Chains A and B, each alone.
Chain A
Amino acid sequence: MDLESKKEEKKEEKKKEKKLPKASSKKTMREKLSKKEIERQGILLGFMAVYVIYGIVFYYLPLGGWIMAFQNYKIKTGLFGSTFVGLDKFKFLFEDVEFLRVIRNTLAMGVINLVCTFIMAIVFAILLNEVRNRFGKKLVQTISYLPHFLSWIIVTGIIHDSLSNTGIINELLVNWNIIKTPINFFAHEGYFWPIVAFANVWKETGWNAIIYLAAIVSIDPSLYEAAEMDGAGRWAKIKHITLPGIRPTIMILLVMNIGNVLNAGFEVQYLLGNGLVRKVSETIDIYVLNWGVSQSDYSLGTAAGIFKSVVAIILIIIANYVAKKTGEEHLF
């Protein structure tokens, strides 16, 4: 083949693509894939085969373990010898009022954390990008992601300290005459979710912002330049250039994270919770620890895991569909 014809072909293809509406273009395109293009894709197909095999072996094969959820799994008898109990484990979960409450807690904390950490990371990345002093910028960024390396036990320890009767928060509130006697923050159910959200924001904002910072870098500087010539202020530039520029990244991360709302965590709640706030602090993972793991009942934990996976996949399919419909970046 010579270059000329290839160029021609390309042009043809481009024309067709332009004519077709974006949403339906893909399918038509696949049909229109030329033989040469398919040949060209041979290498990609080869690699894809490797990735699919890898994925099946390391991610899908272990899912055979999901059988455990329908068994009374015992180490002795193993996966193939344990007695089947049908949906008993799921029944156990969904007939327990506790479990329903635990789902509520997990969802609530998952959503609150998602919203807070998500917004904070974007705001932080954008504002950091506006810092003109390059040394200051680097310094702040380095500082901001350090808490990510502290374990939860350290972070919750500090939070516990600052919120105790003699901690800094109560001291300030009392000194400013906002309250008369110190508040015992951990004794009231109402404070628990906000405290958990704050802990997450505190620990992860800088870390989560890294992806957005990388995305901001890919925005063409000449766009800012042009905007400036049009007399745009900083705020206008953020609104019209930076935000649209990182929008695909935001959408993709949002869709992926929506699947994670049921993974609201375990350690934070476990370390910050106590008997008095148990009703709002327990998450699915803690429930599984109490009722499954600590009783050597692997089946129950597996059942809860399947439930979480199913919910997650449904959620991302919906989110992905919505993103697709609204013309946003989507996962698949």
Chain B
Amino acid sequence: MKFKRVLALTMACMLSVATLAGCNKGGTTGGDAAGGGSLGLDSGETFTDDQIIDFTMFIAMPGSEINDGNEIQQLIAEKTGVRVKETWLTGQTAAEAVGSILASGDLPDFIDGGDGMMQLYDADVLVPWDDYIEKYPNIKELYSDAEWESFRQADGHIYWANVFTNTYGESMATSHNDEAFWIQCRVLEWDNYPKIETLDQYFDLLERYADANPEMEDGTKVIPYTMLCDDWRYFCIENAPEFLAGYPNDGSVIVDVDNMKIVDYNTIPEAKEYFSILNEEYNKGYIDTEFATQTYDEYIAKLSTGRVLGMCDQYWDFAYTINDIFIQQNLDDIGCNYVSLGLTLEAGKDQMWHVYGDTLNNSSGVAVTTSCSDPDRAFQFLNDVLDQEIHDLRFWGVEGVDYLVDEDGMYYKTPEMRDQWADTSYQASHRCVYSYLPQWLGTSRDGKNAMQPQEQESEFFAGLAEPLVNCFEAYGAHGYPDMIGSVVKETGPWYPMYSYSNAMTTETAGGVAWTKMGQVKHEWLPKVVMASNFDSTWDSYMEAYAACKPEDFIAEMQEELERRAAVANQ
């Protein structure tokens, strides 16, 4: 009897949820019709519902689906005549997903295959862009002729375009969404904002601070430094040497620009020195003893208590979660937020932790498939989404609802708008970013605002806690890139080399070596840091590393570098 009651209750719950959802849906569509009129977007040509064409798109990356009847999606559809239903990667690798889509023969109209892009090209299911690039000015504007050339495949056609990190006009970057050594701003404040340039200075400061303030307010011990070695996120320990040696993030190798030679950063003296410093700090007890075995969840849990003073990581890997937790616990008020430092091994050396300008990853991007019923309309749409009006709708939202415009024409958001914009259900019902369709960073065509709100300086500072603002002021910085202080230097046309190594397979000797190198490093790097005898452990590591034949990998990268340089020189 009891269970029957439970069951009945469950059924009742499910039913009421169903009704609720039903109401919601009705409400949304109703709101749409009203919204379209009252929002007063400038008229011009609009499409009615039966003129609107629906396209599908598969993106080989995880992402959030938006609801049918999404408000901004509807507005964009009325203006462009196209609505795109996005489907995202779930529980598979990009290559697997693309493989199974190809096998099923059920292709979407648009596709971004990620790491599986070459499979799509090999299967001859993509529509060449060549004619359309000339036809649609917004698409052509995305890249310079030389950049477009880099997308050209072996058969002489262009099949896709990457959509990210494309700067329109002047760069307005305030963020550093990349790798750096991070330090809590309270540590810098405690030492009166010293100039930290080298790894030695960094650890010296962490040590002194931890000795003077060994505990948090609640009595838990601070962790001066931790590292993540979990699975693919082991870049947190792995690739610092390339930066410490002054090079930008080519990912898998260093490109010695003077000689046009590929250099393996795992074996350079800087690498040995970096790991010997880590080893020394570990043995002194300043590095988290669990660093080698912690999972990503545990790492984030640790960071979120504010106990960790510093680490090396990519901003996106920790900040989006951590920042919110700090706000929730008021840890941001005591200066637990992290600021970026661009370190080298010797003071005064130039470094390129932050790369100004765009990073073109030409190995993947958005493509139109041969299953698309109306390729012309598809390319027209790719052109239209770059229109300033549509672009603002995608990234800023609806004027008056999601952002306001002040008398100087500058866009801004109220705190309520910012919160609403970030709310999950609002995202599903209202926001439509089309995040894997072409887009711009940098300055809006009005010459004042940023293309995307996170680059608007007022928006950036509005979201910052006081200790962080003080810190930026003390260093005279306008954002994270200024904190790092990298040299402004053009990257070569081959940059970034990781777009090649990521696509390597075990079919080539280089690919085999690359996979083996990764495995050896996963195993040995933590061992090296934890070693009681650093030198002998390092030698054993180097021995195991040499057994992977890294020279095969380097040779292939060298070939690719020369190929890319040659393409650029044509």
Contact = CB atoms under 8 A, between A and B. Distances in A.
B523 A279 contact: yes
Contacts of B95: 293-296
Contacts of A298: 99
A297 B298 CA distance: 33
Contacts of B505: 295-297
B181 to A, nearest CB: 21
B297 interface: yes
Contacts of B102: 75
Interface stretch (A43-51, A256-264, A270-278): A270-278
B96 interface: yes
A163 to B, nearest CB: 9
A290 B99 CA distance: 17
B119 A274 contact: no
Chain B interface mostly helix, strand, loop or mixed? helix
A123 to B, nearest CB: 28
A172 interface: no
A86 B96 CA distance: 24
B293 interface: yes
Contacts of A291: 506, 515
Given A276-B526, A293-B93, A294-B93, A187 B292 contact: yes
A75 B229 contact: no
A300 B512 CA distance: 13
A274 B116 contact: no
A207 interface: no
A28 B294 CA distance: 64
A165 B523 contact: no
A271 B505 CA distance: 24
Interface string B499-516: 000001111000100010
Contacts of B416: none
Contacts of A294: 93, 95
A190 to B, nearest CB: 14
Interface in A87-142: 98
Contacts of B413: none
Nearest to A185: B293
A160 interface: yes
Interface string B229-240: 110001000000
Interface in A62-78: 72, 74-76
Interface in B101-117: 102-103, 116
A266 interface: no
B124 interface: yes
A279 B544 CA distance: 13
Contact of A274 (B292, B504, B521): B292
B519 interface: yes
Nearest to A153: B297
B377 interface: no
B519 A274 contact: no
A186 B293 contact: yes
Contacts of B123: 75-76
Contacts of B427: none
A105 to B, nearest CB: 14
B473 interface: no
A187 B293 contact: yes
A41 interface: no
A164 interface: yes
Most B-side CB within 10 Å, residue of A187, A295, A300: A295
A145 to B, nearest CB: 16
A156 to B, nearest CB: 8
B525 interface: yes
B523 A275 contact: yes
5 contacts: A271-B295, A274-B293, A275-B521, A296-B119, A297-B507
Given A76-B122, A274-B293, A275-B526, 6 more contacts: A75-B122, A164-B298, A165-B289, A275-B229, A276-B526, A295-B507
Q: Top 3 A-B pairs ranked by shortest CB distance?
A: A275-B522, A186-B293, A76-B122
